[in-house]
Amino acid sequence: MIGLAIGAAVILYLIFIYNGLVKARQVKEEAWSGIDVQLKRRADLIPNLIETVKGYAAHEKGTLEQIVELRNKAQSLPTGDVAARAQAEGLLSQALGKVFALAEAYPDLKANQNFSELQQSLETIEEEIQMSRRYYNGAARDLNVKVESFPSNLIAGPFGFAKAPFFEITNEADRAVPTVKF
Indicate whether 19 pLDDT > 90: yes
Rounded to an integer, what distance in angstroms lies between the CA atom of residue 107 and that of residue 165? Answer: 42
Indicate whether 36 pLDDT > 50: yes
Indicate whether 177 pLDDT > 90: no
Reported as a pLDDT band with limits 50, 70 and 90, residue 153 is: very high
Reported as a pLDDT band with limits 50, 70 and 90, residue 112 is: confident
Distance from the Cα of residue 86 to its chain's centroid: 6
pLDDT at position 182: 35
Whole-model pTM over 0.75: no
Helix axes 82-105, 61-76, angle to 10 degrees: 160
Contacts of 153 (CB under 8 A, 6+ apart): 147
